Structure 1
Amino acid sequence: MEKRYVIGIDFGTESGRVVIADVERGGELVSHSTPYRHGTIVERLPGSGKAVGQDWALQHPADYLEVLRQSVPEVLRLSGVSPTQVIGIGVDFTSCTIIPVDAEGQPLCMQASYRDEPHAYVKLWKHHAAQKEANRINEWAKESGETFLSRYGGKSSSEWMVAKVWQVLNEAPDIYRATHRFVEAGDWIVQQLTGNWVRSNCSAGYKAFWHKHDGYPSSDFFKQLDPRLEDLTATKLAGEVLPLGTRAGELTEEAAQQMGLCSGTAVAVSIIDAHAGVPGSGAVRSGQMVMAMGTSLCLLVQSDKEVQVEGVSGVVEDGMITGLFGYEAGQPAVGDLFGWYCEQAVPAYVQESAEQAGVSVHAWLESRAAELKPGQHGLLVLDWWNGNRSVLEDADLSGLIVGLSLHTKPHEIYRALLESTAFGTRRIMEAFAEAGVAVDEIFACGGLPQRNRLFMQIYADVTGREIKIAAATETTALGAAIHGAVAAGAERGGYSDLATAAVRMAQVREETFRPIPENMAVYDELYRQYIRLHDVFGRGGLVMKELKRIKQKQNNPH
């Protein structure tokens, strides 16, 4: 029998990555990455230079299509795989990343009449300018006795679908009226590949309040929220919601020609990028947790029961692995936090030293930071540079460094930043334990576990847990490919279910990171102080919010 392969397409924050994987052996055969030409738009629109608002984060959908045209043909060329051997395609995408489109599926920002309208562009997952709308959703859900928010830790986020759509309605009603659908970018890519409009139960469940048995919240809820939203789910969010692993459709002739594949190839329902790391790591049993570690960090826990967990970003039945409840929690600044420090805050001599050593600033700081003992720098950090997603769920919180002195060195701050994200992860893990959700086994995937050994050892020491590392360099893309194998189905040489496919196709490294007892003892002390700061500034203090209010007032005096 001819060997069979699947393609996984992973759309991240800064680039799109494509892998091709062997259906029987799994793992990555080859991969290719295409950076987004327009990057993340946080200040001005491309072309016109029109300014966007504070806390905005936009992208251009043309960049996503470029990934399909460039990286898919390249992995075929590099691997030598024939298009006839590719039986399935899977797609994962950052979420909640939304696109306003017309009836034909064309994004509004790609039309001449809307190219200078910020609300016509893609709102990236880390667009936080809809916090006012998120706050009102939370208030009204509580006032009206709605229970759906209990599945999301009691709060919705400014990052999610309804808040972002409502912001468009409030600030650009013409764009809202012109929009036929607001779609997750992952669902839009699937539509571009197949011509079919379907929504993923993963993104709809975690980011748009959809429930397997109850559907969306009632139209009465949305009407009371804002009369203009009464028909939101029936119109702007319309589309059949399909479970993960389902075949969304088949590759159209046009899409096949652009990518060098065969029309009729099975295309899977899309999945959230971090969530694709679950099958990509082989985590298919209750009690297993995957840490998807990149620009942000998602903690994804599989369980055989559904309970309320403080600050969880969502729990969805069949949301990651069929037959299990998938819990999501997370931290919105991890790799981004370290990147900010290296790009914006280190002195010139650090950059010069790194250049002389022939290494990156990250690598130079890591080597120096690794020479320190836990607690030796005398610093403690709150890791809220991009707000707090779990367990406080407050985008208005900001970062804090305690213990600075005239003797503090750059590598000491760098290590304290690494430690702060580990403390944040431990706090989330404790919330799961307090709710009775077991975490028996931990996997890590993403770019950070591949590059930064100190980072991973700190996580093992702070959490006191052994951490296994996914073998695939592009774990989420492999997870997407696994979905492609299930969409193809056993009849086409793929698999009948996600769990079987993941066990066969995913692998972990032999080396693991185990906690060092003497480090654990110090980190236990530091963690107690972290929790004191966490509760003072996160639960009771208004200092960070007042600073943000003053900043907004000064930047927008009118």
Structure 2
Amino acid sequence: MNANNDRYVVGVDFGTLSGRAVVVRVSDGAEVGGAVHEYAHRVIEERLPGTGVRLGDDWALQSPEDWREVLRHAVPAALADSGVPAAQVVGVGTDFTACTVLPATADGLPLCELPELRDRPHAWPKLWKHHAAQSHADRINALADRRKETWLPRYGGKISAEWEFAKGLQVLEEDPEVYGRADRWIEAADWIIWELTGVETRNVCTAGYKGVYQDGGYPGEDFLAELNPAFAGFTGKLGPEPVPLGGLAGRLTAEAARWTGLPEGIAVAVGNVDAHVTAAAADAVRPGQMVAIMGTSTCHVMPSDRLAEVPGMCGVVRDGIVPGLWGYEAGQSGVGDIFAWFVETSVPESYEREAASRGRTVHEHLTELAAAQQVGRHGLVALDWHNGNRSVLVDHNLSAVIVGQTLATRPEDTYRALVEATAFGARVIVEAFETAGVAVQEFVVAGGLLKNRFLMQVYADVLRRPLSVIGSGQGPALGSAIHAAVAAGAYPDITSAAAVMGRREQAAYVPDAGRADAYDRLYAEYRALHDHFADGGLLHRLRAIRNEATN
């Protein structure tokens, strides 16, 4: 009898708007229970909670208490839903959005929870899509390029405004007191592990992709001092040396056991990123398997046995997805968010009434109308830069462009053009990898958007390749559970655990040759538009005019 049959693990996925927990059987990866807890504060973008303090443009914060509430509510609810006795749970794993980073005291208390700092925006955790540090990222990139820093090519020649160093430099220069009070600058992925175990750790994934940790070290103090003399000691706030994925971070404390209803002392896996951990859930941890986690944004991750410089990638990190391979990351800053924006701002009431009369959402109604069109019928091409561009241009101050609209343009036309734009953006990323000599052998889709069959077919046609799809609707949480099984000793490594507990359907969508040919013509126009606006000149000036008018 397989001893794993009677053992279970819990995976907890901390997303942008909510956290979810799943209970998973170790022997086969079956998800036997689950629950979701919505964040009370969701994304803090306008004012600090309970203070009235107004935030600036491009800010996005979160509340640490919302994350604790996931442990208190989603985990016990998932356990109850499963019917599994808590005593049979042997481990717990977590994943987080990245780079979601916060300043804390030496014992892990978030600075925003100190009464005297609650009304200071920089004391709060900065969500991944906090883009107000773009000017700081620009300075870091310019200096690194001038100094020929060896780590810069590992990030496609640019680091992002979303990452640890840019956000840390912003705190230093805009609120030096908060910066000085921060003994730790820590990814939420590692902070939540601290809450669960009482042990401070750093994982190699966030350190490598978001903290510029390469070849055993961070950027040197002389580099940081040239940015700002007071920034020289920044890496001292980044905590202990990063540890491998799938490892044992510590044991569940008595307090965390009371929160979660799980047994005290069970294994807690090293922290991880939602996108990267999903590769295990899809059993896509071998070289050339690119996983696109498609939701509000899209993150593309892929293991490879080859090290290369891919322009505009978010990073290549040794052991960053699975130990022993190079892990690549790229991404798109807005995908589902773009479709949601369009529905919320640009659809007439007549469409809402028609959708309601048919018992459908507006998204479903627009999708049906868009799907009925032939490729190119709308006469439009759009740039998917509503939330900036993560790959391959790495510029969060870029903005969207839609070309070809006339008085005959209908909402479903624009909606379809936006769907196609995100597919074109994905094709740019795939082509960048293959041009650099890093083969993409399989394209695997995960995330909430894979439920939209029209969207998936557009991607297959635009990419001219089959799409595989993950076999779970809770990819990150399942991936975290797989890591928990490894940390608990049920499997020797992530690859062997993923082979048993992960799952995907290969070639679930295949391209149609006629539509693919038609999309090649539209993609050529997209690339022309992409390259024309890539320098950001006009788009940056428009943003500056907007910001001046707002202030």
Residue 544 of structure 2: aligned partner: 549
Q: For residues 315-338 of structure 1, what are the alpha-carbon distances to aligned partners after superposition, in whole Å with 9 as ceiling and x for unaligned?
A: 001100111111000001001111
Matching of residue 273 in structure 1 with residue 268 in structure 2: no
Query: Which residue is equivalent to 2:469?
Result: 469
Tell whether the 8 Å contact from 2:141 to 2:158 is kept in structure 1 after alignment: yes
Give the match's secondary structure for 2:249. strand
Give distance in 2, aligned partners of 1:405 and 1:453. 28
- State the alpha-carbon separation in 2 of the partners of residues 510 and 427 from structure 1: 23
In structure 1, what is the equivalent of residue 128 of structure 2?
A: 125
Q: CA deviation at 1:345?
A: 1.5
- In the alignment, structure 1 residue 378 sits paired with structure 2 residue 385: no
Give the SS at the match of 1:199.
Answer: coil
**2: distance between equivalents of 1:349 and 1:110?**
46
1:21-43 CA distances to partner (integer Å, 9 max, x unpaired)?
11111132222111110010111
Shift of 1:474: 0.3
Q: Does the aligned pair in 2 maintain the 1:7–1:18 contact within 8 Å? A: yes
SS of alignment partner, residue 385 of structure 2: coil
Distance 2:243 2:25 in 1: 26
Name 1:35's counterpart in structure 2. Answer: 38
1:408-487 to structure 2, matched below 5 A, reads 408-449=409-450, 451-487=451-487
Aligned to 2:54: 51
Q: Secondary structure of the residue that 2:36 maps to in structure 1? A: strand
SS at match of 1:37: coil
In structure 2, how many angstroms separate the alpha carbons of the residues matched to 1:145 and 1:152? 13
Q: State TM-score, norm by structure 2.
A: 0.98
Deviation at 1:106, TM superposition (A): 1.2
Deviations 1:427-453 (A, max 9, x none): 11000011000111111101000x200
CA distance in 2, matches of 1:290, 1:228: 40
> Is structure 2 residue 322 aligned with structure 1 residue 321?
yes
Match of 1:231 in 2: 233
Structure 1 Cα separation of the partners of residues 458 and 545 of structure 2: 36
Q: What are the equivalent positions in structure 2 for 1:9-88 lying under 5 Å apart?
A: 9-88=12-91
2:460–2:511 Cα contact (<8 Å) kept = yes
CA deviation map 1:459-499 (0-9, x unaligned): 0000001001101010111011111011111xxxx111000
Alignment partner of 1:515 is 2:511: yes
**Which amino acid counterpart does residue 12 of structure 2 have in structure 1?**
I
Deviations 1:32-69 (A, max 9, x none): 11111001011111111210000000111110000000
* Alignment-derived partner of residue 497 in structure 2: 501
What CA distance in whole angstroms lies between the structure 2 residues aligned with 1:154 and 1:60?
A: 32
Partner of 2:356: 355
In the superposition, relative to structure 1, how do residues 63 and 28 fare at CA in structure 2: closer, same or farther (>3 Å)? Answer: same
Counterpart secondary structure, 2:153 = helix
Post-superposition CA distance 1:111-169 (Å, at most 9, x none) = 21111111111100000000111000001111222121110000011000000011011
1:508 offset after TM fit, Å?
1.4
- Give the secondary-structure state (helix, strand or coil) at the position aligned to 1:122: coil
Structure 1 Cα separation of the partners of residues 462 and 71 of structure 2: 40
Work out the CA distance in 1 between the residues paired with 2:239 and 2:189.
15
Q: Secondary structure at the match of 1:353?
A: helix
Which residue in 1 is equivalent to 2:370? 369
d(CA) in 1 for partners of 2:505, 2:158 = 37
Change (3 A) 1:284 1:418: same
SS at match of 1:271: coil
SS at match of 2:108: coil
Q: Helix, strand or coil for the counterpart of 1:21?
A: strand
Q: Which runs of 5+ in 1 are unaligned?
A: none
CA RMSD of superposed structures (Å)? 1.0
Q: Cα distance, 1:238 vs. partner?
A: 2.0
Query: How many residues align structurally?
Result: 548
> Structure 2: which amino acid aligns with 1:303?
S
Q: Is the 8 A contact 1:27 1:478 kept in 2?
A: no
- Per the alignment, residue 529 of structure 2 pairs with 533
Q: Residue 156 of structure 1: which of 141, 146, 159 is its match?
A: 159
CA distance in 1, matches of 2:171, 2:112: 14
Contact 1:216 1:233 (8 Å CA) reproduced: yes
**Displacement after TM superposition at 1:509 (Å):** 3.0
- Structure 1 range deviating more: 9-18 or 110-119: 110-119
Q: Deviations over 1:335-371 (max 9, x none)?
A: 1111111112111111111111111111111111111
Question: Structure 1: how far apart are the matches of 2:216 and 2:27?
Answer: 38
**Residues in 2 aligned to 1:481 and 1:71: alpha-carbon distance in whole angstroms:** 15
Contact 1:27–1:507 (CA<8 Å) still a contact in 2?
no
Q: Deviations over 1:481-538 (max 9, x none)?
A: 111011111xxxx111000001110111367000000100100000000000000001
| Letter of the structure 2 residue corresponding to residue 476 of structure 1 | P
AA of the residue aligned to 1:171: E
Structure 2 runs not aligned, ≥5 long: none
| 2:288 equivalent to 1:293 | no
Percent identity between matched residues is 49
Q: 2:467·2:506 contact (CA, 8 Å) conserved in 1? A: no
Partner of 2:196: 193
Question: Which of 118, 142, 145 matches 2:145?
Answer: 142
